[in-house]
Chains A and B, each alone.
Chain A
Protein backbone atom coordinates (compact mmCIF):
# COMPACT_ATOMS: atom_id res chain seq x y z
CA UNK A 1 0.00 0.00 0.00
CA UNK A 2 1.33 3.45 -0.92
CA UNK A 3 2.22 5.56 2.10
CA UNK A 4 1.12 9.19 1.98
CA UNK A 5 3.18 11.95 3.58
CA UNK A 6 2.65 15.67 4.12
CA UNK A 7 5.38 17.97 2.80
CA UNK A 8 3.84 21.43 2.59
CA UNK A 9 1.38 23.56 4.56
CA UNK A 10 -0.31 26.85 3.71
CA UNK A 11 -3.14 28.88 5.21
CA UNK A 12 -4.77 32.24 5.48
CA UNK A 13 -6.98 32.49 8.55
CA UNK A 14 -8.45 34.80 11.17
CA UNK A 15 -5.27 34.14 13.18
CA UNK A 16 -2.75 34.96 10.44
CA UNK A 17 -1.92 35.33 6.78
CA UNK A 18 0.23 32.17 6.83
CA UNK A 19 0.76 28.95 8.78
CA UNK A 20 3.58 30.15 11.11
CA UNK A 21 1.57 33.20 12.27
CA UNK A 22 -1.66 31.21 12.57
CA UNK A 23 0.05 28.48 14.61
CA UNK A 24 1.87 30.96 16.85
CA UNK A 25 -1.38 32.80 17.60
CA UNK A 26 -3.22 29.52 18.18
CA UNK A 27 -0.61 28.40 20.71
CA UNK A 28 -0.94 31.80 22.37
CA UNK A 29 -4.69 31.23 22.71
CA UNK A 30 -5.64 34.32 20.70
CA UNK A 31 -9.03 34.87 19.13
CA UNK A 32 -9.46 35.88 15.49
CA UNK A 33 -13.10 36.78 16.05
CA UNK A 34 -14.14 40.43 15.99
CA UNK A 35 -17.04 42.76 15.38
CA UNK A 36 -17.84 43.41 11.71
CA UNK A 37 -16.75 46.87 10.63
CA UNK A 38 -19.85 47.50 8.51
CA UNK A 39 -23.49 48.39 9.01
CA UNK A 40 -25.02 45.02 8.07
CA UNK A 41 -26.57 44.39 11.47
CA UNK A 42 -28.31 47.76 11.35
CA UNK A 43 -29.18 47.76 7.64
CA UNK A 44 -30.58 44.25 7.49
CA UNK A 45 -31.59 43.67 11.10
CA UNK A 46 -28.99 40.89 11.31
CA UNK A 47 -28.96 39.37 14.80
CA UNK A 48 -25.21 38.65 14.66
CA UNK A 49 -22.58 41.34 14.08
CA UNK A 50 -19.26 39.49 14.41
CA UNK A 51 -17.21 36.80 12.70
CA UNK A 52 -13.76 35.24 12.47
CA UNK A 53 -12.34 37.54 9.81
CA UNK A 54 -9.08 37.13 7.91
CA UNK A 55 -6.07 38.83 9.48
CA UNK A 56 -4.60 39.55 6.02
CA UNK A 57 -7.04 40.26 3.16
CA UNK A 58 -6.15 38.45 -0.10
CA UNK A 59 -6.06 41.77 -1.97
CA UNK A 60 -3.07 42.73 0.17
CA UNK A 61 -1.03 39.88 -1.35
CA UNK A 62 -2.57 39.18 -4.77
CA UNK A 63 -2.44 41.40 -7.85
CA UNK A 64 -5.43 43.49 -8.84
CA UNK A 65 -6.26 41.36 -11.93
CA UNK A 66 -6.11 38.22 -9.73
CA UNK A 67 -8.61 39.61 -7.26
CA UNK A 68 -10.89 40.72 -10.09
CA UNK A 69 -10.94 37.28 -11.74
CA UNK A 70 -11.42 35.16 -8.65
CA UNK A 71 -14.12 35.02 -6.01
CA UNK A 72 -12.68 35.62 -2.52
CA UNK A 73 -12.98 31.87 -1.85
CA UNK A 74 -10.61 31.13 -4.75
CA UNK A 75 -8.34 34.04 -3.79
CA UNK A 76 -7.87 32.56 -0.31
CA UNK A 77 -7.21 29.11 -1.79
CA UNK A 78 -4.52 30.58 -4.05
CA UNK A 79 -2.85 32.43 -1.17
CA UNK A 80 -2.73 29.19 0.85
CA UNK A 81 -1.61 27.14 -2.15
CA UNK A 82 1.32 29.43 -2.91
CA UNK A 83 2.52 29.12 0.68
CA UNK A 84 2.05 25.33 0.79
CA UNK A 85 3.71 24.78 -2.58
CA UNK A 86 6.75 26.91 -1.67
CA UNK A 87 6.85 25.24 1.75
CA UNK A 88 7.06 21.85 -0.01
CA UNK A 89 10.02 23.15 -2.02
CA UNK A 90 8.01 23.65 -5.24
CA UNK A 91 8.31 19.99 -6.24
CA UNK A 92 9.14 19.13 -9.82
CA UNK A 93 6.46 16.66 -10.80
CA UNK A 94 5.01 15.41 -14.08
CA UNK A 95 1.78 17.46 -14.46
CA UNK A 96 -0.12 14.27 -15.29
CA UNK A 97 0.91 12.86 -11.89
CA UNK A 98 -0.09 16.04 -10.01
CA UNK A 99 -3.63 16.64 -8.74
CA UNK A 100 -5.63 19.26 -6.88
CA UNK A 101 -8.53 18.68 -4.50
CA UNK A 102 -9.62 21.97 -2.98
CA UNK A 103 -13.17 22.28 -1.71
CA UNK A 104 -15.54 24.97 -0.63
CA UNK A 105 -18.71 24.29 1.31
CA UNK A 106 -20.71 27.09 -0.28
CA UNK A 107 -18.78 28.28 -3.34
CA UNK A 108 -18.60 31.79 -4.79
CA UNK A 109 -21.40 33.26 -2.75
CA UNK A 110 -20.02 36.82 -2.94
CA UNK A 111 -19.84 36.63 -6.74
CA UNK A 112 -23.31 35.14 -7.09
CA UNK A 113 -25.01 37.66 -4.84
CA UNK A 114 -23.09 40.67 -6.17
CA UNK A 115 -24.02 39.67 -9.72
CA UNK A 116 -27.67 39.37 -8.65
CA UNK A 117 -27.46 42.89 -7.21
CA UNK A 118 -25.98 44.13 -10.51
CA UNK A 119 -28.70 42.39 -12.51
CA UNK A 120 -31.48 43.95 -10.41
CA UNK A 121 -29.93 47.42 -10.36
CA UNK A 122 -28.49 47.71 -13.86
CA UNK A 123 -29.89 44.91 -16.00
CA UNK A 124 -28.59 41.75 -17.65
CA UNK A 125 -26.23 43.67 -19.93
CA UNK A 126 -24.06 44.66 -16.95
CA UNK A 127 -23.56 41.13 -15.59
CA UNK A 128 -19.85 40.41 -16.02
CA UNK A 129 -18.74 37.53 -18.25
CA UNK A 130 -16.53 36.03 -15.53
CA UNK A 131 -19.49 35.56 -13.17
CA UNK A 132 -19.91 31.83 -13.84
CA UNK A 133 -16.23 30.83 -13.56
CA UNK A 134 -16.08 32.84 -10.35
CA UNK A 135 -19.19 31.50 -8.62
CA UNK A 136 -18.85 27.79 -9.44
CA UNK A 137 -17.82 25.78 -6.37
CA UNK A 138 -15.04 24.06 -8.33
CA UNK A 139 -13.48 27.43 -9.11
CA UNK A 140 -10.90 27.28 -6.26
CA UNK A 141 -9.66 23.82 -7.24
CA UNK A 142 -9.62 24.81 -10.91
CA UNK A 143 -7.53 27.91 -10.16
CA UNK A 144 -5.21 25.81 -8.00
CA UNK A 145 -4.77 23.35 -10.89
CA UNK A 146 -3.91 26.29 -13.17
CA UNK A 147 -1.49 27.67 -10.60
CA UNK A 148 0.55 24.48 -10.20
CA UNK A 149 -0.27 22.92 -13.63
CA UNK A 150 -2.00 19.88 -12.13
CA UNK A 151 -3.36 17.55 -14.82
CA UNK A 152 -4.06 14.32 -12.91
CA UNK A 153 -7.49 15.67 -11.95
CA UNK A 154 -8.94 18.69 -10.17
CA UNK A 155 -11.72 17.85 -7.76
CA UNK A 156 -13.92 19.64 -5.26
CA UNK A 157 -15.99 17.28 -3.12
CA UNK A 158 -18.73 19.29 -1.43
CA UNK A 159 -20.05 18.25 1.96
CA UNK A 160 -20.72 21.52 3.81
CA UNK A 161 -18.45 21.81 6.84
CA UNK A 162 -16.76 18.48 6.11
CA UNK A 163 -15.64 19.58 2.62
CA UNK A 164 -12.04 20.46 3.49
CA UNK A 165 -11.52 17.15 5.31
CA UNK A 166 -13.19 15.22 2.52
CA UNK A 167 -10.79 16.91 0.07
CA UNK A 168 -7.82 15.63 2.06
CA UNK A 169 -9.39 12.17 2.22
CA UNK A 170 -9.90 12.19 -1.53
CA UNK A 171 -6.33 13.37 -2.15
CA UNK A 172 -5.08 10.56 0.12
CA UNK A 173 -7.06 8.07 -1.96
CA UNK A 174 -5.79 9.55 -5.26
CA UNK A 175 -2.24 8.85 -4.15
CA UNK A 176 -3.02 5.45 -2.61
CA UNK A 177 -4.79 4.27 -5.74
CA UNK A 178 -1.88 5.35 -7.92
CA UNK A 179 -3.65 8.18 -9.77
CA UNK A 180 -1.12 10.79 -8.66
CA UNK A 181 2.26 11.19 -6.95
CA UNK A 182 1.52 14.63 -5.51
CA UNK A 183 -1.82 16.25 -4.67
CA UNK A 184 -2.50 19.73 -3.35
CA UNK A 185 -5.52 19.41 -1.07
CA UNK A 186 -7.54 21.60 1.21
CA UNK A 187 -10.56 23.78 1.70
CA UNK A 188 -11.59 27.38 1.52
CA UNK A 189 -14.57 29.54 2.46
CA UNK A 190 -15.47 33.18 2.04
CA UNK A 191 -19.03 33.38 3.32
CA UNK A 192 -18.94 36.38 5.64
CA UNK A 193 -21.74 38.04 3.72
CA UNK A 194 -25.09 39.20 5.13
CA UNK A 195 -27.05 36.42 3.41
CA UNK A 196 -25.20 33.38 4.81
CA UNK A 197 -24.99 35.06 8.22
CA UNK A 198 -28.73 35.74 8.22
CA UNK A 199 -29.48 32.24 6.96
CA UNK A 200 -27.30 30.50 9.56
CA UNK A 201 -28.82 32.76 12.21
CA UNK A 202 -32.31 31.77 11.01
CA UNK A 203 -31.37 28.14 11.76
CA UNK A 204 -30.42 29.24 15.29
CA UNK A 205 -26.94 27.92 14.46
CA UNK A 206 -24.92 31.04 15.31
CA UNK A 207 -23.81 32.46 18.63
CA UNK A 208 -25.51 35.80 19.32
CA UNK A 209 -22.92 36.97 21.84
CA UNK A 210 -22.59 40.37 20.11
CA UNK A 211 -21.23 42.06 23.22
CA UNK A 212 -18.36 39.57 23.55
CA UNK A 213 -17.21 38.41 20.09
CA UNK A 214 -13.89 36.99 21.29
CA UNK A 215 -15.65 34.94 23.93
CA UNK A 216 -18.44 33.76 21.63
CA UNK A 217 -16.93 30.52 20.30
CA UNK A 218 -16.77 28.32 23.41
CA UNK A 219 -16.92 24.62 22.53
CA UNK A 220 -17.83 22.35 25.46
CA UNK A 221 -18.64 25.28 27.74
CA UNK A 222 -22.02 25.00 29.46
CA UNK A 223 -22.95 28.48 28.13
CA UNK A 224 -22.14 27.77 24.44
CA UNK A 225 -24.86 29.17 22.20
CA UNK A 226 -23.86 28.40 18.63
CA UNK A 227 -20.96 28.62 16.21
CA UNK A 228 -19.10 31.71 15.05
CA UNK A 229 -18.77 32.07 11.29
CA UNK A 230 -15.16 32.27 10.11
CA UNK A 231 -13.41 32.56 6.76
CA UNK A 232 -10.14 31.44 5.26
CA UNK A 233 -8.33 28.57 3.59
CA UNK A 234 -5.98 25.75 4.44
CA UNK A 235 -3.97 23.78 1.89
CA UNK A 236 -1.65 20.78 2.28
CA UNK A 237 0.78 19.16 -0.13
CA UNK A 238 0.42 15.37 0.01
CA UNK A 239 2.84 13.01 -1.71
CA UNK A 240 3.57 9.34 -1.94
CA UNK A 241 6.36 8.59 0.49
CA UNK A 242 8.46 7.19 -2.33
CA UNK A 243 8.18 10.39 -4.38
CA UNK A 244 8.88 12.65 -1.38
CA UNK A 245 11.91 10.65 -0.26
CA UNK A 246 13.33 10.47 -3.79
CA UNK A 247 13.38 14.25 -3.97
CA UNK A 248 14.63 14.65 -0.41
CA UNK A 249 11.56 16.52 0.78
CA UNK A 250 11.05 17.59 4.39
CA UNK A 251 8.21 15.47 5.82
CA UNK A 252 5.84 16.91 8.43
CA UNK A 253 3.93 13.72 9.05
CA UNK A 254 1.69 11.13 7.48
CA UNK A 255 -1.91 10.70 6.47
CA UNK A 256 -2.63 7.26 7.88
CA UNK A 257 -6.33 6.81 7.31
CA UNK A 258 -9.66 8.36 6.48
CA UNK A 259 -13.16 7.31 7.45
CA UNK A 260 -16.14 8.81 5.63
CA UNK A 261 -19.74 8.01 6.44
CA UNK A 262 -23.18 9.57 6.04
CA UNK A 263 -25.94 9.68 8.63
CA UNK A 264 -29.03 9.47 6.39
CA UNK A 265 -30.83 10.76 9.45
CA UNK A 266 -31.58 14.50 9.11
CA UNK A 267 -30.67 17.24 6.63
CA UNK A 268 -29.00 19.47 9.23
CA UNK A 269 -28.90 17.84 12.67
CA UNK A 270 -26.36 15.14 13.51
CA UNK A 271 -27.68 11.69 14.32
CA UNK A 272 -28.58 11.93 18.02
CA UNK A 273 -26.57 8.85 19.00
CA UNK A 274 -23.62 9.93 16.84
CA UNK A 275 -23.47 6.54 15.16
CA UNK A 276 -22.28 7.92 11.80
CA UNK A 277 -19.56 10.00 13.45
CA UNK A 278 -18.42 7.01 15.50
CA UNK A 279 -18.26 4.80 12.43
CA UNK A 280 -16.14 7.41 10.63
CA UNK A 281 -13.60 7.41 13.47
CA UNK A 282 -13.58 3.60 13.67
CA UNK A 283 -13.13 3.21 9.91
CA UNK A 284 -10.29 5.74 9.88
CA UNK A 285 -8.48 3.89 12.67
CA UNK A 286 -9.06 0.54 10.99
CA UNK A 287 -7.74 1.83 7.69
CA UNK A 288 -4.71 3.29 9.46
CA UNK A 289 -4.07 -0.08 11.05
CA UNK A 290 -3.93 1.54 14.47
CA UNK A 291 -5.40 0.66 17.81
CA UNK A 292 -6.95 3.30 20.04
CA UNK A 293 -3.88 3.40 22.28
CA UNK A 294 -1.87 4.87 19.36
CA UNK A 295 -3.97 8.05 19.53
CA UNK A 296 -2.70 10.89 21.72
CA UNK A 297 -4.64 13.86 20.38
CA UNK A 298 -7.99 14.73 18.82
CA UNK A 299 -8.75 17.99 17.06
CA UNK A 300 -12.51 17.97 17.43
CA UNK A 301 -15.10 19.34 15.03
CA UNK A 302 -16.64 21.01 18.12
CA UNK A 303 -18.28 24.12 16.70
CA UNK A 304 -19.73 25.43 20.00
CA UNK A 305 -23.31 24.39 19.34
CA UNK A 306 -25.37 23.16 22.31
CA UNK A 307 -26.22 19.76 20.74
CA UNK A 308 -23.36 18.98 18.35
CA UNK A 309 -20.41 19.29 20.70
CA UNK A 310 -21.56 16.63 23.14
CA UNK A 311 -22.69 14.15 20.47
CA UNK A 312 -19.14 14.23 19.12
CA UNK A 313 -17.53 14.10 22.58
CA UNK A 314 -19.59 11.05 23.54
CA UNK A 315 -18.57 9.46 20.22
CA UNK A 316 -14.87 10.07 20.89
CA UNK A 317 -15.25 8.57 24.35
CA UNK A 318 -17.12 5.64 22.84
CA UNK A 319 -14.46 4.92 20.22
CA UNK A 320 -11.40 5.46 22.42
CA UNK A 321 -12.94 3.97 25.55
CA UNK A 322 -10.85 4.19 28.74
CA UNK A 323 -7.85 5.35 26.69
CA UNK A 324 -9.70 8.69 26.28
CA UNK A 325 -8.26 9.66 29.67
CA UNK A 326 -4.82 9.80 28.02
CA UNK A 327 -5.98 11.76 24.96
CA UNK A 328 -5.69 15.53 24.67
CA UNK A 329 -8.73 17.13 23.06
CA UNK A 330 -8.47 20.52 21.32
CA UNK A 331 -11.28 22.60 19.87
CA UNK A 332 -9.50 25.24 17.81
CA UNK A 333 -12.70 26.78 16.44
CA UNK A 334 -12.76 28.55 19.80
CA UNK A 335 -10.04 30.79 18.31
CA UNK A 336 -10.70 30.80 14.56
CA UNK A 337 -14.46 30.55 14.36
CA UNK A 338 -15.90 28.00 11.95
CA UNK A 339 -14.35 28.15 8.48
CA UNK A 340 -17.07 25.83 7.06
CA UNK A 341 -15.45 24.26 3.96
CA UNK A 342 -12.06 25.51 5.13
CA UNK A 343 -12.39 24.07 8.64
CA UNK A 344 -11.32 20.48 8.00
CA UNK A 345 -8.23 21.65 6.14
CA UNK A 346 -7.14 24.23 8.70
CA UNK A 347 -7.75 21.82 11.56
CA UNK A 348 -5.77 19.12 9.75
CA UNK A 349 -2.90 21.60 9.61
CA UNK A 350 -3.31 22.21 13.36
CA UNK A 351 -3.31 18.44 13.96
CA UNK A 352 -0.16 17.90 11.90
CA UNK A 353 1.60 20.83 13.62
CA UNK A 354 0.54 19.41 16.98
CA UNK A 355 2.11 16.03 16.15
CA UNK A 356 5.21 17.59 14.65
CA UNK A 357 5.86 19.95 17.58
CA UNK A 358 4.35 17.60 20.21
CA UNK A 359 2.12 20.41 21.33
CA UNK A 360 -1.67 20.34 21.42
CA UNK A 361 -3.18 23.80 20.87
CA UNK A 362 -5.52 25.24 23.47
CA UNK A 363 -9.28 25.62 23.57
CA UNK A 364 -10.17 29.09 24.75
CA UNK A 365 -13.29 30.57 26.38
CA UNK A 366 -14.16 27.47 28.39
CA UNK A 367 -14.88 28.78 31.85
CA UNK A 368 -17.38 26.16 32.90
CA UNK A 369 -16.83 22.86 31.06
CA UNK A 370 -19.84 20.74 30.24
CA UNK A 371 -20.02 18.19 33.08
CA UNK A 372 -20.72 15.45 30.55
CA UNK A 373 -17.35 15.93 28.80
CA UNK A 374 -15.26 12.84 29.53
CA UNK A 375 -12.15 13.52 27.44
CA UNK A 376 -9.36 15.77 28.84
CA UNK A 377 -9.74 19.18 27.19
CA UNK A 378 -6.67 21.34 26.53
CA UNK A 379 -7.74 24.70 27.97
CA UNK A 380 -6.20 28.16 27.62
CA UNK A 381 -2.57 27.03 27.28
CA UNK A 382 -0.99 24.37 25.04
CA UNK A 383 -0.24 20.90 26.38
CA UNK A 384 2.59 18.47 25.61
CA UNK A 385 2.00 15.37 23.51
CA UNK A 386 4.04 12.22 24.13
CA UNK A 387 7.35 11.63 22.32
CA UNK A 388 7.87 8.71 19.92
CA UNK A 389 5.45 7.46 17.31
CA UNK A 390 2.01 8.80 17.92
CA UNK A 391 -1.14 9.60 15.98
CA UNK A 392 -4.06 12.00 16.10
CA UNK A 393 -7.60 12.26 14.78
CA UNK A 394 -9.20 15.26 13.11
CA UNK A 395 -13.00 15.17 12.90
CA UNK A 396 -15.16 17.16 10.52
CA UNK A 397 -18.91 16.91 10.16
CA UNK A 398 -21.21 18.75 7.79
CA UNK A 399 -24.87 19.68 7.39
CA UNK A 400 -26.34 16.89 5.35
CA UNK A 401 -25.01 14.20 7.68
CA UNK A 402 -21.46 14.03 6.28
CA UNK A 403 -18.86 12.61 8.67
CA UNK A 404 -15.13 12.60 7.96
CA UNK A 405 -12.41 11.44 10.35
CA UNK A 406 -8.77 11.76 9.31
CA UNK A 407 -5.92 10.03 11.12
CA UNK A 408 -2.49 11.63 10.98
CA UNK A 409 0.77 10.25 12.31
CA UNK A 410 4.27 11.44 13.09
CA UNK A 411 6.98 10.69 10.57
CA UNK A 412 9.06 8.58 12.92
Chain B
Protein backbone atom coordinates (compact mmCIF):
# COMPACT_ATOMS: atom_id res chain seq x y z
CA UNK B 1 0.00 0.00 0.00
CA UNK B 2 1.28 3.43 -0.97
CA UNK B 3 2.43 5.76 1.80
CA UNK B 4 1.04 9.26 2.34
CA UNK B 5 3.19 12.37 1.86
CA UNK B 6 3.51 12.70 5.63
CA UNK B 7 4.67 9.12 5.97
CA UNK B 8 7.21 9.59 3.17
CA UNK B 9 8.46 12.78 4.85
CA UNK B 10 8.87 10.91 8.12
CA UNK B 11 10.81 8.08 6.45
CA UNK B 12 12.96 10.46 4.42
CA UNK B 13 13.73 12.54 7.51
CA UNK B 14 14.98 9.37 9.23
CA UNK B 15 17.38 8.67 6.35
CA UNK B 16 18.63 12.26 6.25
CA UNK B 17 19.10 12.34 10.02
CA UNK B 18 21.06 9.10 9.94
CA UNK B 19 23.31 10.29 7.11
CA UNK B 20 23.97 13.83 8.27
CA UNK B 21 23.50 13.86 12.03
CA UNK B 22 20.76 16.50 11.68
CA UNK B 23 17.70 16.29 13.89
CA UNK B 24 14.91 14.53 11.96
CA UNK B 25 12.53 17.31 13.06
CA UNK B 26 14.61 19.81 11.09
CA UNK B 27 14.02 17.95 7.86
CA UNK B 28 10.91 19.78 6.65
CA UNK B 29 9.26 20.14 3.25
CA UNK B 30 10.38 23.71 2.57
CA UNK B 31 14.06 23.03 3.38
CA UNK B 32 16.57 23.01 0.52
CA UNK B 33 18.92 20.01 0.63
CA UNK B 34 21.97 22.09 -0.30
CA UNK B 35 21.25 25.59 1.06
CA UNK B 36 19.44 24.74 4.31
CA UNK B 37 20.60 21.23 5.19
CA UNK B 38 24.17 21.58 3.81
CA UNK B 39 24.02 18.23 2.04
CA UNK B 40 26.73 17.73 -0.60
CA UNK B 41 26.22 15.83 -3.84
CA UNK B 42 27.71 12.55 -2.55
CA UNK B 43 25.50 12.60 0.52
CA UNK B 44 22.51 13.44 -1.68
CA UNK B 45 23.22 10.42 -3.88
CA UNK B 46 23.52 8.29 -0.75
CA UNK B 47 20.17 9.55 0.52
CA UNK B 48 18.60 8.87 -2.89
CA UNK B 49 19.97 5.32 -2.95
CA UNK B 50 18.70 4.61 0.56
CA UNK B 51 15.31 6.20 -0.25
CA UNK B 52 14.95 4.04 -3.35
CA UNK B 53 15.42 0.98 -1.20
CA UNK B 54 13.23 2.13 1.66
CA UNK B 55 10.27 3.21 -0.51
CA UNK B 56 10.83 0.68 -3.30
CA UNK B 57 10.95 3.34 -6.00
CA UNK B 58 13.37 4.22 -8.79
CA UNK B 59 14.79 7.76 -8.93
CA UNK B 60 16.88 8.08 -12.12
CA UNK B 61 20.04 10.20 -11.80
CA UNK B 62 18.68 12.81 -14.23
CA UNK B 63 15.66 13.37 -11.95
CA UNK B 64 17.77 13.94 -8.80
CA UNK B 65 18.77 17.43 -10.01
CA UNK B 66 15.10 18.45 -9.83
CA UNK B 67 14.84 17.51 -6.15
CA UNK B 68 15.83 20.86 -4.66
CA UNK B 69 13.77 20.82 -1.50
CA UNK B 70 12.72 18.04 0.84
CA UNK B 71 9.15 18.63 -0.37
CA UNK B 72 10.24 18.00 -3.99
CA UNK B 73 11.63 14.62 -2.94
CA UNK B 74 8.56 13.78 -0.86
CA UNK B 75 6.23 14.51 -3.77
CA UNK B 76 8.43 12.64 -6.25
CA UNK B 77 8.58 9.55 -4.04
CA UNK B 78 4.87 9.64 -3.19
CA UNK B 79 3.97 9.74 -6.89
CA UNK B 80 6.56 7.16 -7.88
CA UNK B 81 5.05 4.65 -5.46
CA UNK B 82 1.72 4.54 -7.20
Contact of A268 with B by CB under 8 A: no
Query: What B residues does A127 contact at CB under 8 A?
Result: 49
Query: What A residues does B6 contact at CB under 8 A?
Result: none
Query: What A residues does B20 contact at CB under 8 A?
Result: 65
Which A residues from 104 to 160 make CB contacts under 8 A with B? 122, 125-130, 133
B42 x A130 contact (CB < 8 A): yes
Least CB distance, B65 to chain A, in whole angstroms = 15
Which B residues from 16 to 62 make CB contacts under 8 A with A? 18-21, 42, 45-46, 49-50, 52-53, 58
Query: What A residues does B19 contact at CB under 8 A?
Result: 65, 68
Neighbour of A64 across the interface among B18, B45, B50, B52, CB < 8 A:
B18
Whole-angstrom CA separation of A130 from B43 in the bound complex = 8
Output the nearest chain A residue to B49 by Cβ-Cβ distance: A128
Query: What B residues does A68 contact at CB under 8 A?
Result: 18-19
B49 x A129 contact (CB < 8 A): yes
A63 x B21 contact (CB < 8 A): yes
A129 x B18 contact (CB < 8 A): no
Query: What A residues does B58 contact at CB under 8 A?
Result: 125
Classify the interface of chain B: helix, strand, loop or mixed. helix
B21 x A130 contact (CB < 8 A): no
Least CB distance, B18 to chain A, in whole angstroms = 6
Classify the interface of chain A: helix, strand, loop or mixed. helix
Query: What B residues does A130 contact at CB under 8 A?
Result: 42, 46
Whole-angstrom CA separation of A129 from B40 in the bound complex = 12
Whole-angstrom CA separation of A404 from B21 in the bound complex = 41
Whole-angstrom CA separation of A126 from B58 in the bound complex = 10
Interface size for chain A: under 10, 10 to 19, 20 to 34, or 35 or more residues? 10 to 19
Least CB distance, B15 to chain A, in whole angstroms = 11
Least CB distance, B41 to chain A, in whole angstroms = 8
Query: What B residues does A125 contact at CB under 8 A?
Result: 49, 52, 58
Which A residues from 258 to 285 make CB contacts under 8 A with B? none
Least CB distance, A148 to chain B, in whole angstroms = 20
Which A residues from 220 to 276 make CB contacts under 8 A with B? none
Given contacts A128-B46, A129-B45, contact A65 B21 (CB under 8 A): yes
Output the nearest chain A residue to B47 by Cβ-Cβ distance: A129
Query: What A residues does B18 contact at CB under 8 A?
Result: 64-65, 68
Output the nearest chain B residue to A133 by Cβ-Cβ distance: B42
Whole-angstrom CA separation of A300 from B62 in the bound complex = 56
Query: What B residues does A63 contact at CB under 8 A?
Result: 21
A126 x B21 contact (CB < 8 A): no
Least CB distance, B51 to chain A, in whole angstroms = 11
Whole-angstrom CA separation of A126 from B45 in the bound complex = 11
Output the nearest chain A residue to B21 by Cβ-Cβ distance: A65
Output the nearest chain B residue to A122 by Cβ-Cβ distance: B53
A residues neighboring B (CB under 8 Å): 63-65, 68, 122, 125-130, 133
- Name 9 extra pairs, CB < 8 A, besides A126-B52, A128-B46, A129-B45: A63-B21, A64-B21, A65-B21, A68-B18, A68-B19, A125-B49, A129-B49, A130-B46, A133-B42
Q: Which 7 A-B pairs have the closest CB atoms?
A: A129-B45, A65-B21, A129-B42, A129-B46, A63-B21, A128-B46, A128-B49
